[in-house]
Structure 1
Amino acid sequence: MNRAMITASVTMNQIQSQIDSISHNMANSQTVGYKRRESAFHDLLSQQLHSQSNPQMEVGRLTPLGLQVGSGAKIAQTVLQFEQGSLQTTGRELDFALTTANHFFRIESSDGAGTEERLTRAGNFYITANSENPEQLTLVTANGDYLLDNNGERMIIPEDFTSFQLQDGQLFVTMQDGSLENIGTLGIRQVHNPQALVPAGENQFALADLEALGYAEADIVEDVGVAEIAVLQKTLESSNVDMAKEMSDLLVAQRHYQFNSRAISMADQMSGLVNGIRG
């Protein structure tokens, strides 16, 4: 395989990864709180070929000596874009929308081997029985992970409540006698560097290995105080996917893929011509 074919095939593989990322964005355009991914490319190392055997011919040259032959391109990073999605009024009491771009709900997720705290922007919650005490009720995400309060505990709901009210980040339930009972403050965390978050599935994020990156958790994440909580009840945040942009990016990526595919075909044809001449 000659150099042109290697360069094109390496780039095609990376472009396919970009197309997969765009397809993932488009598939989640209607997912509550979803944040789109965007691929960033950079060139692979290039090789310097010295094709001029007479240095005297290069006197006064301003460009690098010889030829620079690249090795293709690769995805340097898949960046999460955390700009605010549009807000939609639902009228449902357990639908909450965060209105600050770098704030996240605290979630307790279980994978069978243990529990782990994760973060999410999806604010559609539901009532279920507390697994630690079946006689109690608590709030969960659409896939059954527990919503946590600002102390990292599950929010316990009395059985004889009638409705929910959110006031300054604190969740109240109206009892049958008309009184209000505070069941806790929504657990919300601020992420100073969203790129330290790793997608964990189910529209949730986990923290990367901060120690390996040279950070302490306090440098990246902090709890949001009651006075700083900005949440709207009966509202959901839509995904921040712009379908027009994704379609445009997809067309560009497909054209790049076709260009590199054509380069492989032309290199193969040239190899065939060379082999024919040798014969």
Structure 2
Amino acid sequence: MLRAMDSAVAGLRAHQNKLDVIGNNIANVNTFGFKSQTFSFKEAMYQTSTNSTKGSTTAGGVNAAQYGYGTMMGSISTDMSSSTPTYVGGLNATISGEGFFITYPSADKNVAVDDMKKTDFNYTRVGQFNIDANGYLVDANGNFVYGFRPDKVDSPTKFDGELVPIKAPVDVTGNNFTGDSLQLKDVKINDLGEITGTVVSTDAAKSGKTVSLGKVAVATFQNPQGLSKKGSYYYGASESDNSGTASATIPGGSTSKLMTGYLEASNVDLAKEFSDMITTQRGFQANSKIITVSDEILSDLINMKR
């Protein structure tokens, strides 16, 4: 069988894979927090017909002669650069710079920052938050948002070092987050990630008081491209991946602040995607033409003797 046909088949597969990536990018052009991906090719295997030789005083050197067998997927990399913030209002926030919000499907975790990668947290750029019926801060998928609780509800100047689910307190004084939460209204988030609300109560001593639920955590990674996409605008990290050292702090200072009321738009560049789609389509078409030509040559060989 002709090597050209093998190379063309490999080329078809590789170009189809690139079209799959481009299609996913275009499909998510309006998905909040989506990070576009880039597909790259690499050469496939080679068959050496003549080895490269150094040569001597009696014979000159000879370069290697090799037959290639097409192309294959080199890498699929994710562009983690920030995109344009879009104002939507409400209890929403986007990170103005690097970092991720931390969420988890249950509220039974108290995790030390150093143990973040030992826990199957979900990391997201989409701060689409609300307070559920039990007083927990949750995202649009109902996952609990993790951060740091205030040391004292009535004096929230110091925050605990453990990552915990953010929850409305039980009372307006002390340090009590266990039990039925206070009913709150006008829940807000500021640029330093602190969640506050106004108490609604029949008790005049409590009603109208402003309490702090805590501060959302912003997680950062040495190599954010090493995170794995999990779907639903989530990323995952593990101890064995290539994301590197992980840390979580409150927004502000050396950590990016938040833009309240905003959500981050997709960073897909439609002009680039359409141009890549055209060149990839032409590459696919050229490889299919090689298969057609190879088929014609094989047909000619078969018909040489009649």
Instruction: Flag whether TM exceeds 0.5 (same fold).
Output: yes
Q: Distance in 2 between matches of 1:239 and 1:191?
A: 20
How many residues of Structure 1 are paired with residues of Structure 2 in the alignment?
256
Alignment of 1:17-32 (within 5 A): 17-32=17-32
- Residue among 78, 81, 84 paired with 2:82: 84
- Unaligned stretches of 5+ residues in structure 2: 107-118, 149-161, 169-181, 201-206
Give yes or no for contact 2:191–2:260 (8 Å, CA) kept in 1.
Answer: no
Q: Secondary structure at the match of 1:41?
A: strand
| Cα deviation 1:5-41 (Å, max 9, x = unaligned) | 1111112112111111111111111111111111121
Runs of 4+ aligned residues of structure 1 deviating over 6 Å after TM superposition are: none
Partner of residue 294, structure 2 = 267
Q: Distance in 2 between matches of 1:33 and 1:246?
A: 18
Alignment of 1:151-162 (within 5 A): 151-157=162-168, 158-162=182-186
Partner of residue 210, structure 2 = 180
- Residue among 110, 120, 139 paired with 2:124: 120
- Residue among 130, 135, 138 paired with 2:136: 138
Tell me the TM-score normalised to structure 1 length.
0.83
Q: 1:109 to 1:43 in 2, by over 3 A?
A: farther
- Asked whether 1:223 is paired with 2:221, we answer no
Q: 1:154 to 1:163 in 2, by over 3 A?
A: same
Rg (Cα) greater in structure: 2
Identity of aligned residues (%): 25
Give yes or no for contact 1:32–1:123 (8 Å, CA) kept in 2.
Answer: no
Task: Please state how far the C-alpha of 1:254 moved relative to its aligned partner.
Answer: 0.7
Partner of residue 133, structure 1 = none
Give yes or no for contact 2:121–2:237 (8 Å, CA) kept in 1.
Answer: no
| Cα deviation 1:20-73 (Å, max 9, x = unaligned) | 11111111111111111111211112112239xxx99xx6567x23x3211111
2:165 corresponds to which letter in structure 1? R
Tell me the TM-score normalised to structure 2 length.
0.76
Give yes or no for contact 2:187–2:195 (8 Å, CA) kept in 1.
Answer: no
Partner of residue 33, structure 1 = 33
Moved more, 226-235 or 237-246: 226-235
Q: Secondary structure at the match of 1:153?
A: strand
Superposition RMSD on alpha carbons, in Å? 2.5
Q: Secondary structure at the match of 1:246?
A: helix
Partner of residue 132, structure 1 = none
Task: Please state how far the C-alpha of 1:140 moved relative to its aligned partner.
Answer: 2.0
Partner of residue 100, structure 1 = 97
Give yes or no for contact 1:196–1:220 (8 Å, CA) kept in 2.
Answer: no
Greater helix share, 1 or 2?
A: 1
Q: 1:154 to 1:197 in 2, by over 3 A?
A: same
- Residue among 252, 258, 263 paired with 2:279: 252
Moved more, 40-49 or 248-257: 40-49
Partner of residue 72, structure 2 = 74
Q: Distance in 2 between matches of 1:276 and 1:167?
A: 77
Q: Distance in 2 between matches of 1:167 and 1:82?
A: 22
